[in-house]
Chains A and B, each alone.
Chain A
Amino acid sequence: MKEFLPLIMEALQQDFILRGIVVGSLIAISSSFLGIFLVLKKHSMIGDGLAHVSFATVAIALLLNKSPLIISIPLVILSSFLILKLDEKADIHGDAAIGLISSLAIAVGVLISSISKGFNVDLFSYLFGSILVISKMDLILSIILSIIVILIICIFYNSLFAITYDEEFANVLGINSKFINYLISTLTSITVVLGIRIVGTMLISSMIIFPTVTALQVSNSFNSTILISSIVSIISVIMGTFISYIFNLPTGATIVIINGMFFLLFFLIRKLKNNN
C-alpha cells in the first residue's frame, strides 16, 4: 500500500482525475437513485438501449462538429420516448422495443463513422469511456444536470416508490404513472449521456444495474437500498479511477470490475447470513 501512496498523491494533482472523480461520483449517485426504480420495474435494459442510442448521437455530434453532450441529451430523450410509445401503442413489448431502437441506433452510428473519416478515435473513446475527454464545460454541465436529476428524484421520491411497488394502486391514488414513466426515461437518458464520458456506451448500464443489485443483497428497506447502492457506486468510481491511474488501465472497465467485486462480496454476505 505504501508504494501506491505517492502515486495516489500524484493522481490527485491531475486536473482530469479530479474532474473524473467529481463527475463520476455525481453520475454514481444519480444512476443509483434511478437504478432502483429501473431494476425493480424490470426495465434495467433501458439503460443499455439508451447507451447504444447515445453511440449514434455522439457520432452525429462529431460529424457536425458539435458538443456530444448537447446533441446527445435531446436525441436520447426522444429515443426513450419512442421506446415508451412503441411499448404503449404498437403492442411491441418493452424489451423488444429497446432492442429495435438500440440496434437501429448502433447501425446509424457505424454507418456515420464509416462514411466520415477522422473522428473514429474520438468515437472509440466514447465507446469505452475516457476521463481524459472531460472538458471544463462538460464538468460544469455534468454537475448541473446531475444535481437536477438527483433533486427531481428526491421531489418525486414517494410517487416513484408507490409506482414501483404497485402501479395499479398508485393509479387509484391519483398518481399519474404515465408522467412518472416519462420522467424516469428523461432522467435515465440524461444520466446515460453524462455517464458515457466515464465508462463509455458499452458499460454505462452497469452503473445503473450493479450498485442496485449489490445493495438488494443486504438491504431491507427502499431507503437503505438507495443509500447502500450510492455508497457502493461512489467507492467504485473513486477506487476505479485511482487503480486505473496507478496500473494504467481503462477507467470505465476498472470501475465496472470493482462494481462486480462488490456484488460478489455482498452476494456472499447474504448467503452466509441466510445459512446462519
Chain B
Amino acid sequence: MMNNVITVENLNFSFGKNQILKDISFQVEEGDYLGIVGPNGSGKTTLIKILLGLIGPYEGKIIFNDEIGNKNSIGYVPQGAIKRDRLFPATVEEIVATGLLSQKKGMKFYSKEDYRKVENILKKLGIYGLKNRKIGNLSGGQIQRALLARAMVSKPNILFLDEPTSALDPKIREDFYSILKEINREGVTIILISHDILSIKKYVNKILYLNREIIFYGPYDQFKNSKEIAQYFGITSRD
C-alpha cells in the first residue's frame, strides 16, 4: 500500500474578496508523478505556492507525511527562473550549491562534502562541464537543468516544478521530461504544473485539472476518457 506524501483537505484561499481556490481536496502518494493542469488564472501556481509555504493564510488542512516529505526534503523549480537576469554574475556551481542551504543549521557555510554533492548532481544531469560557466551564458535548456540540479542536490523526496519547460523548444522539452521521469523512477514524487498536457501525458500517472476548484483528479487514462475534459483539450480517445 502506498503512503500519502501530501494530504490536502478542504483548502480555500482568497485574495481579498477574490476566491482563488475553492474546496480543494486531494492526496499525493509516494512515487506519484502528478501533472497539475488548467487554464491561465486557474490557481495552479497559487496551489503549489501554498503547499510550499510561500503564501497564506488559507482555510483547510495541508498535511505532509514527515517521514517521507517533510519541508527539508522538498525540491522546487520555480516559474520563470529561466528568464532571470542574464548578467547575474554566478557560476552554475554557486547556484546549485544554494540548494543545500535548507539542510544547514546556524552558520550556513559549505563543506567539501557539499561541493562533492554538487559535482555528483551535475554529473548525473549531464552538465558537469558547465560547473564553472556563468549561468547567464547558458542556453535555456542548460539553465533549466542547472535549476533542476539546484532542486535535486539535497536529494529531496518531493519535487515541485512550475511550468519548467515553457521557454524551451520541443526537443529540449522532451529531454527534460525524460530526465524527470528517470528521477521519478528512482522514487522521487513529482508535482508538475504544465499548460502542455500533450507533452506530459506519457510521463505523469495522475492529472489534477484545476479551474479554481478541482474539475478532475485521477489517473490520466480516466482523464482522457472524461468527456468534458477531452472536449476542452481536443483529445480523442486514441491519444
Contact = CB atoms under 8 A, between A and B. Distances in A.
Interface of A: 36, 40, 155-156, 158-159, 161-162, 165-166, 168-175, 215-216, 219-225
B9 interface: no
B91 interface: yes
Given A155-B107, A158-B108, A159-B108, A40 B85 contact: yes
Contacts of B74: 172
A216 B89 contact: yes
Contacts of A158: 97-98, 101, 104, 108-110
A166 B81 contact: yes
Given A158-B101, A172-B76, A173-B98, A224 B89 contact: yes
Interface residues of B, number: 33
B88 interface: yes
Contact of A171 (B54, B88, B107, B137): B54
Contacts of A221: 89-91, 94, 132, 134
Contacts of B167: none
B112 to A, nearest CB: 15
B197 interface: no
Interface of B: 52-54, 71-72, 74, 76, 78, 81, 84-85, 87-91, 94-95, 97-99, 101-102, 104, 107-110, 132-134, 137, 150
B94 A222 contact: yes
Nearest to A173: B102
B85 to A, nearest CB: 7
Contacts of B91: 220-222
Contacts of B87: 216
Contacts of B99: 173
A165 B76 contact: no
B101 to A, nearest CB: 5
Q: Is the interface of A mostly helix, strand, loop or mixed?
A: helix
Given A162-B101, A222-B91, 11 more contacts: A156-B108, A158-B101, A159-B101, A169-B98, A170-B98, A173-B99, A173-B101, A174-B71, A175-B101, A216-B89, A221-B89
A220 B89 CA distance: 5
Nearest to A156: B108
A225 B95 contact: no
Most buried by B among A175, A215, A220: A220
Contacts of A215: 89
8 contacts: A158-B101, A165-B95, A166-B78, A169-B78, A169-B81, A171-B54, A221-B90, A222-B91
A156 B74 CA distance: 22
